[in-house]
Structure 1
């Protein structure tokens, strides 16, 4: 395998502009004819949608907790086979969380580019950048990017005092017109923004206008990453001789602006195990395809409740699916679609499918956030939770999640017949055999008698 230049783009905190800078770098490189692969550290769905449009390729998660080191290593190895540049956007601050973005950089020898919001500082910029670069000796901070500078003079001031081994790669001007709209879970989905490509080109133009250093020259390319046999299979490690426990199974997946929180690695795993994945859009009025199993991912049912109700067959087909005892996995927003009623942020009450007893309501404050490990009857699965809604149900949970960072978020797993439902967004490669058993319909149902 050939070496491929790769960088981790991080920051001292959230809100510094990591996503827009990473997208600008990716779009710029792509416009120059480079093959760019972008990854996202930590659990996230919305940033990867933007980064995928910027790079022209699906964005996968590199998360040491959810996927494990060998799984992440294999994803990097696969990307490096045909990429000219790899960019990995970090999560939160560089050293925040367990595992942190710095842990990922250390594990794979990724040079770090630090994005710093310079809008309220001058020479202190260099002190902060130097502190981040010197805090751990097992990572290499190869450069710093000043974001939201006010003028050329301001850019010169923030560069003062930077040591020679910590170059200023670019100083991006403050421009409110380059911001993307946000809602309660973060950025508005890229698929909902008709001008997203023009926005990305504007970001790339801004980057090209001020970038003074070719990033491929400020840090040695990462060493070739050997392909290893991971403890958790990826699509690339499942060959023609591998068992295909989902061969012949048709698995329907709701995928649209309402049900969009889908890790590409999850779909890859289902297909690698032999399943035929059938994506459909309930809010576009599409019928549930004839299928053996169904996945309702998270998303924004509170924003699309009227469209769901306007689809005459959707709730009825869900009812028939469960009556036939076919597996159904419902995550977060997908679970809220199944309860009796859902109150949106304005207090409007929407009747839902009424297949899972309970009531849900949106609220203005965050209800839960954090990584999660939860014990399914088939084994532990990992993922995360992030929601602004609350739900009450008389069902007794069959499991309660654990948070590796000792956070308060500890979501419950519910079962009702062939249904599994939780606020947890599961990362399927964290336990492929458990996922295969569930979607194959071979999972034990003794726990589901509520």
Structure 2
């Protein structure tokens, strides 16, 4: 059963709503944001030219560089006295991307997060342990407000403090856990060290996001914790978590709440829209934002779109699990590969644990790649045999030939308790 009727609306009704909201958004952005007025004028597009989503391709893109160039508030469409909350990206690669919310924006965010949690199987009266970070990062407060909006109980543990996280799971009978996939695995390891079997607890599902992950990693999480692991997607520039989520019934792509966020997939190189099912870069347009309307934002995330009706009955388009980011693409000796592709090949072997790191170096004019992996606790072979197997699979499946593969003992690769895990270290 859907949380909102819009989740099962006909494609025709949804399209009519999108057309109306897009036209309103373009006119609103043109009238209230200097950046968009100048960008649309330069592209030779007037708000009067936009009648439907068919006209989207005529609009210019918005990029993360635009957010940073307009720092701190050049993309705001409202005065500061109308803003009720500010969030920001980490700013690890430059100035942070500042985002703002009016009272109505916060209401939309609460609703799409409640809708998302309901799709994941969380119900009113459940207890949700929220281990996403609070503060400027949108994850913690986004989940927090959504849980309360749904009518469930939130435990605001935030990131880190793993011993207390485990105590709360046990002592408060948490039904659901929200955190990054890498932290799920860290919790499972910490529980094992305490001789604590999380699979015997009431915990039935985890809502994981903020990092790309592969199906083998999801399977490892589900096995280690005895849960259903549901993927959630969002980004601060659009609203935060709650842009899309898998349904618990199918776990076959993430339903985009496209009454609020219109998705496209474009060729990462040319920017040309791609047909349904073809993989490319996800582009999102906000349809109801007040404080910070966003037109055709290039997310950098690689995915595809599926418009077939889901087994759960929802008609909202589904995006595939994000397989990587355009800026994560590795080019080593002329071979293009994403870290998630390397992860999937390695974890499919079974003896490789879901912990690895990739180190990139440059020797003279040649790029080199070294991979370090952990073997599973129950691995009974030799490191040399596993190394040869990994090298063979990477060569056969991806045509990737790492310069070195090192197999290490469980626990030797550094874990991340707070924030997103880092797997690629570029020393070039």
Q: Same fold (TM over 0.5)?
A: no
Q: By percentage of residues, which structure has more helix?
A: 2
- Scaled by the length of structure 2, the TM-score of the pair is 0.30
- Scaled by the length of structure 1, the TM-score of the pair is 0.29
